[in-house]
Amino acid sequence: MTATGLSPDQIKLQARALELARGPVAARAAEVDRTEQYPWDNVELLKDARLIGMTIPIRYGGQGKNWLDAVLVIEALSSACAVTGRIAVETNMGAISAVMAYGSEEQKKMAADMVLAGDKPAICITEPDAGSDANGMTTRADKRGNRYVVNGRKHWITGGGVSRLHLVFAKVYDEKGEFEGIGGFLAIRDQAQGLKITKREPTMGLRGIPEAVIDFEEMELPPSALVMPPRGLKKGFADLMTAYNSQRVGAATVALGIAQGAYGLALDWSEKRHQFGRPINEFQGLQWKLADMSIKLSAAQALVYKAAESGRDGFPDMLLAAQAKIFTSENAIQVVNDALQFFGARGYSRELPLERMARDVRMFTIGGGTAEVLRNVVAGALLKKKLPQTRDGWTKD
Ligand SMILES: Cc1cc2nc3c(=O)[nH]c(=O)nc-3n(C[C@H](O)[C@H](O)[C@H](O)COP(=O)(O)OP(=O)(O)OC[C@H]3O[C@@H](n4cnc5c(N)ncnc54)[C@H](O)[C@@H]3O)c2cc1C
């Protein structure tokens, strides 16, 4: 799908990503799902086409592209393979963008080099007892002499076991045991002792990227591993989470791309498939369904593009990113479900991509902030109030 208002460079970029999506990426999508193997070959394709690390500033080896550029690429790739779309999200947005915004020179160089070499950084926030309530995390980093010692468990970490660079969030305590705030530490899997991948989650969809439990056992890191936003540790988590608004837009884009892919298949099939002596698209019941699907997709695309463009001078706006993610994820699930229905029994077969798309798209109202919690974000922004969710009205430290 294309939109008006794109620059000639963006149209070219989109065409490059679509060519890849419709060619080698589409050809491998079913196999990636079936084998549950991380598609390293697709990473190489993305690298060769310069579609990863695009948002990294030129001085660190990237191309200094904006969020909308990244969105165009992610949208195109996800229409064929959501796993590859997610790789494009996490090599252009999220953890890498947090480091590029708030990291030290040394951290920026290291992270940029790793991503441009094909690493998909992992972001480690969620814990078994701290999901939506991320502030309730218990992973801790204790300052002991000239190092921090990290202990705790994270789960549902995308890329666990394939990612090298990890941005690990932990409650930071000084040498006297005083709480200082939530900090983000950079840890490299094959260098940090005590970073252990202990389980791979058996997921419903998006099976080509592992979701892992990661245990941190006495993981020692130097103070230089701490990514320190300008307002310091007390506001560090809030600042680092602004970077997450880019990832939210990216996640919404993957859902959008999957739904566009499914819609395209349904549209084609509705002309090819005949029943009662005529193409099924001659039945008004299906014509109206196609109309509704296209309206949902156009509205979702407009929200996603608007949210992406709001980040022209920094990160996407929190309200717009949340609105885009809620609307797109919920409507994409419906569009894919409707598209599957067009195929009748065939849609339920694993020989067609519809059932995979239905499994893949289901994730996006959950990961990266659930649709319910993001509604709290939207309401808080509209009402210009903090809306604490804990019983005593305060967040735990
Ligand atoms: C495929 C996948 C990939 C993920 N990748 C990562 C990753 O890379 N890194 C990472 O750190 N995490 C990751 N996550 C975790 C994800 O961010 C969490 O699943 C999400 O934040 C929700 O937390 P939870 O699963 O513990 O649900 P819970 O917080 O237990 O929520 C359960 C239900 O209660 C609702 N709920 C909770 N609080 C409220 C409230 N205040 N108001 C209204 N409703 C509420 C939720 O919306 C949900 O429906 C991933 C998850 C998935 C599924």
Evaluate: CB of 339 within 6 angstroms of ligand 1.
Answer: no
Nearest one of 182, 332, 308 to 245, comparing CA atoms:
308
Nearest one of 206, 301, 308 to 248, comparing CA atoms:
308
Q: How far is the CA of 249 from the centre of ligand 1 (A)?
A: 17
Contact 105, 60 (CB under 8 A): no
Evaluate: CB of 134 within 6 angstroms of ligand 1.
Answer: no
Evaluate: CB of 380 within 6 angstroms of ligand 1.
Answer: no
Q: State the virtual CA torsion across 316, 318, 323, 326 in degrees, nearest 10.
A: 100
Evaluate: CB of 197 within 6 angstroms of ligand 1.
Answer: no
Q: What string of pLDDT tens digits covers the 397 residues of the chain?
A: 455 689 999 999 999 999 999 999 999 999 999 999 999 999 999 999 999 999 999 999 999 999 999 999 999 999 999 999 999 999 999 999 999 999 999 999 999 999 999 999 999 999 999 999 999 999 999 999 999 999 999 999 999 999 999 999 999 999 999 999 999 999 999 999 999 999 999 999 999 999 999 999 999 999 999 998 888 999 888 888 899 999 999 999 999 999 999 999 999 999 999 999 999 999 999 999 999 999 999 999 999 999 999 998 899 999 999 999 999 999 999 999 999 999 999 999 999 999 999 999 999 999 999 999 999 999 999 999 888 888 876 555 4
What is the CB-side half-sphere exposure of residue 245 using CA atoms within 13 A? 26
DSSP 8: H
- Residue 260 to residue 293: CA distance in whole angstroms: 9
Q: How far is the CA of 156 from the centre of ligand 1 (A)?
A: 9
Kindly report the protein residue whose alpha carbon is nearest to atom 9 of ligand 1: 157
Rg (CA), the chain: 21
Contact 359, 204 (CB under 8 A): yes
Q: How far is the CA of 134 from the centre of ligand 1 (A)?
A: 9
Determine the atom of ligand 1 nearest the C-alpha atom of 169: 11
The two tokens of residue 357 are 């798309």
- Residue 243 to residue 374: CA distance in whole angstroms: 15
Nearest one of 275, 165, 144, 293 to 222, comparing CA atoms:
144
**What kind and span of H or E run contains 249?**
helix 236-272
Kindly report the protein residue whose alpha carbon is nearest to atom 42 of ligand 1: 373
232: left (phi over 0), alpha (psi -120 to 50) or beta: left
Q: How far is the CA of 19 from the centre of ligand 1 (A)?
A: 34
**Which amino acid type is present at position 210?**
P
Q: How far is the CA of 53 from the centre of ligand 1 (A)?
A: 27
Q: Which distant-in-sequence residues (6+ apart) come within 8 Å of 20 by Cβ?
A: 45, 46, 49, 51, 76, 77
Q: How far is the CA of 389 from the centre of ligand 1 (A)?
A: 15
Evaluate: CB of 135 within 6 angstroms of ligand 1.
Answer: no
- Residue 219 to residue 221: CA distance in whole angstroms: 7
